[in-house]
Amino acid sequence: MDSEGVGAAGMSPDSRIQVGTRLRHARLTLGARLKDVAEAANCSESLLSKLENNKIRPSLNMLSRICDALNLTIGQLFETPDAEETVVVREDARVVVELGTGADTGVRMERLIPYSKGHLLQSSVHVIAPGGSSDGLVSHDGEEVGYVLAGTIELILADRTYRVGAGDSFIYRSELPHGYRNVGEGEARILFVNTPPTF
């Protein structure tokens, strides 16, 4: 994760979320042991410890499993106190969450609607490096729509797979296990909107 200068897409380092720090805080607030959360998320204590210390980044699938173990949505993990009053979110102030193994193979989530209990919608742009993916399937309550801004992805819905390119859109119930993979040679960008805010 970038620690100096302006990162990808003009994002300032201050807008980039330290996922591990938030996970550790959520676990400690809950009073849960590292071992308990690791077992519930089906990962090793060592892996969870590295995540909490920001030594590695979780995949989207892993982050979803850890949040489930902490009884949180991904949105709740990144809530900010003043989000309800926010009307305009400037590009350089957008909350950015880096996921995956690295800048060349991972996923960057750029939050369009601030994380807040007061919103009925959640929306973000997922920027997926070539070969990057959600690393498995996730599911949560609600319904979501996606619009591919750039690139070509493979959309996985339970046991079905769809090839989706720039300009295409898709919609599904979020309870259906879903995920994606960038099958193109360049970066893929997907605009997601889901309701209620359960992700």
- Residues 13, 3: contact at Cβ < 8 Å? yes
pLDDT, position 188: 97
Cα(191)–Cα(26) distance, integer angstroms: 27
pLDDT in tens, 32-79: 999 999 999 999 999 999 989 988 888 888 888 998 899 888 877 777
Say whether pLDDT at 20 is over 50.
Answer: yes
> Helix %, strand %, coil % for the chain, to 5?
25, 30, 45
Say whether pLDDT at 2 is over 50.
Answer: no
Say whether pLDDT at 5 is over 60.
Answer: no
- In the numeric block, which tokens belong to residue 43? 């990962």
Mean pLDDT of 149-166: 97
Q: Which residues contact 97 (CB under 8 A, 6 or more apart)?
A: 16, 17, 19, 78, 108, 109, 111
